[in-house]
Chain A
Amino acid sequence: MKQRLEEAIRKHRGRCDYLEVHVEETAESRVQFNGPRIADIGRKLDFGGNVRALHKGGWGFASFNSLDRLDEFAGHAIEQARLVGREKSVLAPVEPVRADVLLDLREDPRAVPLEEKVAVLKAYNDRALAKGGRIVSTVTRYFDRARRFWYANSEGSLLYQERVDLGGAVTPVASAGGDTQMYSVSFGGSDDFGVARGREKEVDEACAIALGKLDAPKVKGGEYTVILDPILAGTFIHEAFGHLSEGDNVYEDKNLQEVMTLGREFGGPALNVYDTGLDKGERGYLVYDDEGVPTEKTYLIRGGKLVGRLHSRETAGKMGERPTGNARQIDYRFPPICRMRNTCIENGDAPFARMLEGVGLGVYCVSAQGGQTNGEMFTFSAANAIMIRDGRLAEQVRDATLTGNVFVTLKNIDMIGNDFETHNGPGGCGKGGQFPLQTSHGAPHVRIRNVVIGGE
């Protein structure tokens, strides 16, 4: 395969400024239970690739399932790039790499028979359904993907990479009187089927929380002091700052560059935020990105000040900054774009008990249902919430969806916990039609003043 890629590069490189070929093979297993029934069980074999060409600043891209016609696809990509290119090609320089990245797994999901995977998931599913009563249904899902990537470019890089990605969730569904509530236990990772095991206690807790939400009142809309648990704090930083840090938002937008000048203050001196590909086992773990650039730990905010961005080679080149290994594609059907890996708020020094002190009326927001951003404003949703009254955790409430503004909300973080943890779920990040991309995040508890929560 490597030879074939190099040959294609050699043959076509002369007709454009830059050329790369990417081929991948993914073998996926998946299981889903909806209530007692097995709603989906299947295997997927996905083989395909793409050719990407850059000429005079214009990109051409052709993806395919049939490697036999590689020359034809290279021709398409180059023609398209030549059609578009009217300026100058700029890519930040990197050392060409020649490497094989082989798997180093703890419990290899490929070695676990499908039968056993079904049994592990079914046990959780049955456990939740066995509660009966107002637990009327479940959604329990699991997938794993074993992937192989071959990559070559016209600067001499030649890579073979193996990656594993897996995730799952058990969601008890509680229902009564036309109202339906749920809560998920989720897991994921990049090197261990073991993360799917031993979740019994969490499944019990999830049932209890879902039932509690049926009886809980909706949170009253308004402005609150909130404490985010590590899972939601991770979602928060992903939405609040991760996306705005992606170089492709900024690199050709002069107005945004003025707003996103390195050194600008976004938060208090205790706030440190980074995005890293180096944390083995997390879903955001990545040795080389999809342009063959080695990944790293990239600080975005240090001491409250903007210090870095997430770059592809082009965005780094055009901004005169260093490439960071953030060019990623969900699969061969798409070109790589600037994306996050494992995005984290660094540990602070506040114990949880101290965060509660002095909060007259607030909301403790636990676990995440998701988040979205449009740059300046963002929103993220807690899967469970508990009112804080006079410095103490009080009654459970539901439907806490929070909104913030990047220029205001980060500055309103007034306490950062000392209990950092990372979180991996089965979902992923969406951008530019590329969804879901495997990412993860980490944070300690975080306290934020003046956050608007929607509600009646």
Chain B
Amino acid sequence: MREIIERAAGKGAERCEVFHLTSLRTQVDFETGRLKGVSRTEENGVAVRVVKNGRIGLATSTRLDDLDRIAEDAVATSAFGEKAEHGFAGAAQLPSPKVVDRRVEDLPIDAMIARMAEGVARIHDYEKKVNCEATTRRDVQEISVATSDGFDSSFRRTQYQFYVGGRLIEGTNMLDAGGYYGGTALDDGGNAIVDQVIEDLRNGRRNAAVEGGPTAVLFTPRAMADVMMTLYSGLNGSLVERKVSPLTGRLGQTVFDERVTIHDDGVADTGFSSAPFDDEGVPMQRTPLVVGGVLKGFITDLRTATKLGLPATGNGLRLRRLVQSKDIGAVPQPEVTGWDMAGGDTPHAQLLAGMKSGVVVDSIMGIMMSNLLAGDFSGNVAYGLKVENGRVAGRVKDTMVAGNIYRLLKDNVVGISREVERVGLMGFIGSHRYPYVLMRDVSISTKS
């Protein structure tokens, strides 16, 4: 890394930052209930940012035998780059969240296979016809950042992900259910996930018709993870800087119901994206975004923090577009790490029991293509249940749920569950924590 910094300096760079990632992924897949394949993905790449003549250049490469070309490319792109208004990270005191679990590193492939086989067997005990899939993915990463401004540090991280699910086809009715764990530590064996999958299959097997119109909706933690994607942009410093976030200029104001509190937590022990520092070398932290309904902060990287005159929150990550997976080729920008929404005071069971008629929405398909920036969402209820007099009456299908997160979280919250659950999705989001949230008058559309 030092060598690249020196080479870049030799080519006229005034300042330089090097990000180095090595990772080893081991993945085991079950298809149709049977062991299908094992794969191993080794990655080694660097990303170099330079400032030359006051402008930023970036080059990335997985060809580490040609350091000179990387330095050259970075310097060459700086001719067209943005004016550098921010510095690179300097030396800092770093937090030390638990991001390595030896049990993850040492977990033999045989043990991964056994865990998945057991999950599949238990689902088949419930119903032989379920077409089961399962995946275990282990990543062991080493991430280093060095800058000409004095930062030079690296850390190791383990990430463990486990998914098991299945599809039940009866006639032309398809029912999908699945459960997931993602974190830097090994989970407790996946039993609870399998239990949930079986319960979802059981509850969703019978279909029930609902009527369109304003409806009481209980969003599960999984559905909250879908719906809250609308806020990822609203609370993102780079969109505030461009004045396109509806929360622009509203720091310190009450924006939501007073029961709503949300943190972005980059240092939660075992959190999937937790780390001592972000991909620019800024210490990661637990950042209050909304506390008691009052807007407290935005997630930032070095650049947006400088622009907004706010502290850098350690959210400058290099990720593949839309997913929480490192991309050596990506430019750092403010990204969510793990969101933590505070629970309320009502037990989940009580929220459900109190619903006279409504829908439990557990998974929404198509959220990503809504106008997220405006806080609007509209999607197909991929898994949702009709509720009558506090009891589940069957699965709703061919139904859309829509709303605006800024209005819903301000005016429509009925109750927030005491229980807060860890949720995620293989290959997309690693881990967030959300409660169940009951809202009134949520728009439901369906066949007339």
Q: Chain A: residues with CB nearer than 8 A to chain B?
A: 28, 31-32, 34-35, 37-48, 58-66, 73, 76-77, 80-81, 83-84, 86, 114-115, 118, 136-137, 173, 175, 178-182, 218, 221-223, 248, 252-253, 255-256, 259, 333, 335, 369-381, 398-399, 401, 403, 405, 407-408, 432-433, 435-436, 450, 452-456
A45 cross-chain contacts in B, Cβ below 8 A: 59-63, 69-70, 73
Whether A399 contacts B376 by the Cβ 8 Å rule is yes
Whether A84 contacts B31 by the Cβ 8 Å rule is no
Whether B447 contacts A455 by the Cβ 8 Å rule is no
A379 cross-chain contacts in B, Cβ below 8 A: 365-366, 369, 379-380, 400
B356 CB within 8 Å of chain A:
no
Give 9 CB contacts A-B under 8 Å. Answer: A43-B73, A115-B80, A136-B242, A333-B43, A335-B37, A370-B368, A376-B172, A399-B376, A435-B323
- What's the minimum C-beta distance from B377 to chain A, rounded to whole angstroms? 9
A403 cross-chain contacts in B, Cβ below 8 A: 366, 380, 398-400
Contacting B374 at CB < 8 Å: which of A39, A73, A180, A255? A180
> How far does the alpha carbon of A73 sit from the alpha carbon of B242 in the complex, in Å?
47
- B55-84 vs A, CB cutoff 8 Å, 1 = contact: the mask equals 001111111100001100100110111100
A218 cross-chain contacts in B, Cβ below 8 A: 376
Contacting B38 at CB < 8 Å: which of A42, A84, A374, A453? A84
Contacting B379 at CB < 8 Å: which of A182, A256, A454? A454
Whether B329 contacts A44 by the Cβ 8 Å rule is yes
Which of A35, A376, A454, A455 lies at the interface centre, i.e. has the most chain B CB atoms within 10 A of its CB? Answer: A454
- What's the minimum C-beta distance from A407 to chain B, rounded to whole angstroms? 5
Q: Chain B: residues with CB nearer than 8 A to chain A?
A: 31-32, 34-45, 57-64, 69-70, 73, 76-77, 79-82, 109, 129, 131, 167, 169-170, 172-174, 176, 212, 238, 242-246, 320-323, 325, 328-329, 331, 333, 365-366, 368-371, 373-374, 376, 378-380, 382, 397-403, 406, 426-427, 443-448
Whether B403 contacts A456 by the Cβ 8 Å rule is yes
- What's the minimum C-beta distance from A68 to chain B, rounded to whole angstroms? 9
> How far does the alpha carbon of A222 sit from the alpha carbon of B32 in the complex, in Å?
37
Which of A37, A43, A248 lies at the interface centre, i.e. has the most chain B CB atoms within 10 A of its CB? Answer: A43
Whether B321 contacts A370 by the Cβ 8 Å rule is no
A173 cross-chain contacts in B, Cβ below 8 A: 242, 244, 373
> How far does the alpha carbon of A17 sit from the alpha carbon of B331 in the complex, in Å?
42
Whether A58 contacts B42 by the Cβ 8 Å rule is no
- What's the minimum C-beta distance from A455 to chain B, rounded to whole angstroms? 5
Which of A81, A136, A333 lies at the interface centre, i.e. has the most chain B CB atoms within 10 A of its CB? Answer: A333
- What's the minimum C-beta distance from A212 to chain B, rounded to whole angstroms? 14
List 3 tightest A-B contacts by C-beta distance, closest first. A454-B400, A221-B445, A370-B369
| Other 10 A-B pairs with CB < 8 A, given A374-B382, A381-B369 | A46-B61, A63-B39, A64-B42, A65-B42, A65-B62, A115-B79, A377-B382, A399-B371, A453-B445, A456-B403
> How far does the alpha carbon of A114 sit from the alpha carbon of B60 in the complex, in Å?
16
B173 cross-chain contacts in A, Cβ below 8 A: 376
A433 cross-chain contacts in B, Cβ below 8 A: 323, 325, 426-427
Which of B76, B169, B369 lies at the interface centre, i.e. has the most chain A CB atoms within 10 A of its CB? Answer: B369
Whether B370 contacts A401 by the Cβ 8 Å rule is yes
> How far does the alpha carbon of A40 sit from the alpha carbon of B238 in the complex, in Å?
13
B76 cross-chain contacts in A, Cβ below 8 A: 43, 114
> How far does the alpha carbon of A295 sit from the alpha carbon of B40 in the complex, in Å?
28
Whether B38 contacts A223 by the Cβ 8 Å rule is no
Whether B242 contacts A374 by the Cβ 8 Å rule is no
Nearest B residue to A403 via CB reads: B380
B109 cross-chain contacts in A, Cβ below 8 A: 80, 83
| Known pairs A378-B380, A381-B370; A456 contacts B443 (CB<8 A) | yes
- What's the minimum C-beta distance from A346 to chain B, rounded to whole angstroms? 25
Whether B382 contacts A436 by the Cβ 8 Å rule is no
| Known pairs A179-B374, A221-B443; A401 contacts B41 (CB<8 A) | no
Contacting A256 at CB < 8 Å: which of B59, B131, B244? B131
A435 cross-chain contacts in B, Cβ below 8 A: 320-323
> How far does the alpha carbon of A35 sit from the alpha carbon of B241 in the complex, in Å?
10
| Known pairs A43-B76, A256-B169, A452-B447; A62 contacts B373 (CB<8 A) | no
Contacting B331 at CB < 8 Å: which of A39, A223, A252? A39
Whether A259 contacts B169 by the Cβ 8 Å rule is yes
- What's the minimum C-beta distance from A439 to chain B, rounded to whole angstroms? 16
> How far does the alpha carbon of A77 sit from the alpha carbon of B38 in the complex, in Å?
8
Contacting B80 at CB < 8 Å: which of A41, A83, A408, A432? A41
Whether A80 contacts B37 by the Cβ 8 Å rule is yes
Which of B69, B176, B399, B447 lies at the interface centre, i.e. has the most chain A CB atoms within 10 A of its CB? Answer: B447
| Known pairs A48-B62, A435-B323; A180 contacts B373 (CB<8 A) | yes
B365 cross-chain contacts in A, Cβ below 8 A: 372-374, 377-379
Nearest A residue to B29 via CB reads: A59
Contacting A407 at CB < 8 Å: which of B172, B245, B448? B172
Whether B131 contacts A42 by the Cβ 8 Å rule is no
- What's the minimum C-beta distance from B7 to chain A, rounded to whole angstroms? 15
Contacting B368 at CB < 8 Å: which of A35, A44, A223, A372? A372
- What's the minimum C-beta distance from A453 to chain B, rounded to whole angstroms? 7
Nearest B residue to A114 via CB reads: B80
| Known pairs A63-B41, A84-B37; A44 contacts B59 (CB<8 A) | yes
B447 cross-chain contacts in A, Cβ below 8 A: 223, 450, 452
> How far does the alpha carbon of A255 sit from the alpha carbon of B177 in the complex, in Å?
16
Contacting B176 at CB < 8 Å: which of A62, A66, A375? A375
Contacting A80 at CB < 8 Å: which of B40, B129, B382, B400? B40
- What's the minimum C-beta distance from B390 to chain A, rounded to whole angstroms? 26
> How far does the alpha carbon of A99 sit from the alpha carbon of B262 in the complex, in Å?
57
Whether B378 contacts A401 by the Cβ 8 Å rule is yes
> How far does the alpha carbon of A40 sit from the alpha carbon of B39 in the complex, in Å?
33
Whether A399 contacts B378 by the Cβ 8 Å rule is yes
Whether A76 contacts B40 by the Cβ 8 Å rule is yes
Whether A182 contacts B373 by the Cβ 8 Å rule is yes
- What's the minimum C-beta distance from B209 to chain A, rounded to whole angstroms? 13
| Known pairs A175-B244, A376-B174; A38 contacts B81 (CB<8 A) | yes
Contacting A41 at CB < 8 Å: which of B35, B57, B320, B427? B57
A84 cross-chain contacts in B, Cβ below 8 A: 35-38
| Known pairs A371-B369, A380-B369, A401-B378; A47 contacts B63 (CB<8 A) | yes
B77 cross-chain contacts in A, Cβ below 8 A: 41-43, 114
| Known pairs A60-B37, A222-B212, A377-B397; A399 contacts B370 (CB<8 A) | yes
| Known pairs A259-B169, A372-B368; A42 contacts B59 (CB<8 A) | yes
Whether B244 contacts A61 by the Cβ 8 Å rule is no
> How far does the alpha carbon of A255 sit from the alpha carbon of B170 in the complex, in Å?
8
Which of B64, B366, B402 lies at the interface centre, i.e. has the most chain A CB atoms within 10 A of its CB? Answer: B366
